[in-house]
Amino acid sequence: MYPCSSTALQRSLLHEQLEVRYRAMKRKWQLFLPSSVRMHLNGTDAELAAAVGYFEQRQAQVQQQTQHRSEEVRDRLAFLELQAQILFERFTFDCEELSEAIRIIDKDVPRTNRDLSYFQEQGLGNLLVLRDILITYAAFHPEVSYAQGMNDLCSRFLEVLDSEVDTFWSFSCYMEKFSKDFRADGLHRKIELEAALLKELDPQLYTHLATDNMENFTFCHRWLLLGFQREFEHSDALRLFEILSCDHLELISQQVDQARYRERLARRLSTDDRSECELPAINTDFTFELFICAAILLENRESLLRCRDDVQLIQFTSRLQGTLDLNSTLKKAELHFYNYCKRCAWDYGNGHCRAQESKDEDFLYQLRSLFLLR
């Protein structure tokens, strides 16, 4: 939520700004839909009524604390407040869309990870915090709004950070990268990508699973969308989520650039090919969670090959829930990942040599490699 280059001093100020901004955003939709400020309860869930109680108590406490601020702090906050108001002044909401999102959020929030201690007893109030975060996000991102499953993702940030403001901004940053997966076209695209990756890694298994609509890959859709939350034990799932959200092993990350660079270097030394500078044809859409998914599929390849229809597939994969070991899966996924990078570098190298032979006279080609050499 902070820029990488920011200093500790800047961050405390930035945090103040983000906090004020978030409060301004929240207030804006609350003024727009006053009837939705409080959660809609249907009266059958006594715990939830208690949750509302805890939540309101906590809000009253926060209110009290704000009264003890020094004048200097108050002035600064007033300025930030004004800034935030101007920033969001022109933002308008679509009443019907937002009400529908809130309706679904109100149904989903009470069924979010209620078995975790973070959401029990006094912690029940955290469900209401989650609700406010999700609504604020939906209100200010109408192109994504709210999709079922986001409650799961967002609750993980909240559990770890235990702060409404930090969770909102971290979740927003995370969604910058993943929100397209939650949109109608993105959901299917994710499955197609997984299928494409599997085709690279194991053509036989791919042929076995592939159909026109890729419906045989539907089973891994939930794994991908929710970051395997329901497949691993909770603490492992959290760890995996952290790994996935930190961009460590992505095809756009530094590690990969280094690995590809080393590969190219080795290649260059062995063939004495000096015109090496273009990036290999690598599909950067293959994000790391696709490799995790592929590692799980390949690990169970024999069983999957024995499945004769989609029913057997979905039954097999639901039996996997809770049986997977994170460390070994990660190791395998990492291996597949590096192998894919290496192969791309090799393929590129080979293609490049051939191109060199056949297109020696090609003026455009020469021009291009000259240009790239700079």
Partner 1 sequence: MEAIWLYQFRLIVIGDSTVGKSCLIRRFTEGRFAQVSDPTVGVDFFSRLVEIEPGKRIKLQIWDTAGQERFRSITRAYYRNSVGGLLLFDITNRRSFQNVHDWLEEARSHVQPHSIVFLLVGHKCDLEAQRQVSRQEAEKLAGAYGMRYVETSARDAINVEHAFTELTRDIFALVRSGDITIQEGWEGVKSGFVPNVVHSSEEVTKSDRRCLC
Whose Cβ is closer to partner 1: residue 110's or residue 280's? 110
Contact 185, 199 (CB under 8 A): no
Of the residues 38, 45, 354, 373, which one makes contact with partner 1 according to CB under 8 A = 45
For residues 97, 102, 105, 109, the Cα torsion angle rounded to the nearest 10 degrees is 170
Contact 136, 102 (CB under 8 A): no
Q: How far is the CB of 188 from partner 1 (least distance, A)?
A: 4
Of the residues 198, 226, 344, 345, which one makes contact with partner 1 according to CB under 8 A = 226
Q: How far is the CB of 101 from partner 1 (least distance, A)?
A: 10
Q: What are phi and psi of 187, to 5 degrees?
A: -60, -45
Q: How far is the CB of 95 from partner 1 (least distance, A)?
A: 14
Contact 295, 332 (CB under 8 A): yes
Mask for 285-324, x = binds partner 1 (CB under 8 A): ------------------------xxx--xx--x------
Token pair of 188, please?
């299917």
Instruction: Give the range of 85-93, 184-192, 196-204, 359-367 binding partner 1 by CB under 8 A.
Output: 184-192
Q: How far is the CB of 30 from partner 1 (least distance, A)?
A: 23
Q: How far is the CB of 372 from partner 1 (least distance, A)?
A: 39
Which residues within the stretch 87-116 sit at the binding site for partner 1 (CB under 8 A)? 100, 103-104, 107-108, 110-111, 114
Of the residues 69, 74, 183, 306, which one makes contact with partner 1 according to CB under 8 A = 183
Whose Cβ is closer to partner 1: residue 139's or residue 226's? 226
Per CB under 8 A, 269 contacts partner 1 = no
Residue position matching structure tokens 């019907």: 96
CA angle (257, 263, 264) in 5-degree steps: 90
Instruction: Give the range of 21-29, 187-195, 284-292, 338-346 binding partner 1 by CB under 8 A.
Output: 187-195
Contact 146, 103 (CB under 8 A): no
DSSP 35-99: GGSSPP--SS-HHHHHHHHHHHHHHHHHHHHHTT--HHHHHHHHHHHHHHHHHHTT----HHHHH
Whose Cβ is closer to partner 1: residue 18's or residue 144's? 144
Whose Cβ is closer to partner 1: residue 18's or residue 313's? 313
Instruction: Give the range of 13-21, 58-66, 220-228, 279-287 binding partner 1 by CB under 8 A.
Output: 220-228
Residues 6+ apart with CB under 8 A from 191: 214, 217, 218, 220, 221, 224
CA distances from 350 to 145, 185, 273, 332, 354 (A): 46, 35, 11, 26, 6
CA angle (90, 91, 95) in 5-degree steps: 130
Per CB under 8 A, 331 contacts partner 1 = no
Of the residues 184, 269, 302, 374, which one makes contact with partner 1 according to CB under 8 A = 184
Which residues within the stretch 111-170 sit at the binding site for partner 1 (CB under 8 A)? 111, 114, 147-149, 151-152
Q: How far is the CB of 303 from partner 1 (least distance, A)?
A: 17
CA distances from 45 to 42, 48, 53, 182, 295 (A): 7, 5, 13, 29, 41
Amino acid at 259: A
Chain residues in the site for partner 1 (CB under 8 A): 42, 44-45, 100, 103-104, 107-108, 110-111, 114, 147-149, 151-152, 182-185, 187-188, 191, 213-215, 218, 221-222, 225-226, 230, 309-311, 314-315, 318
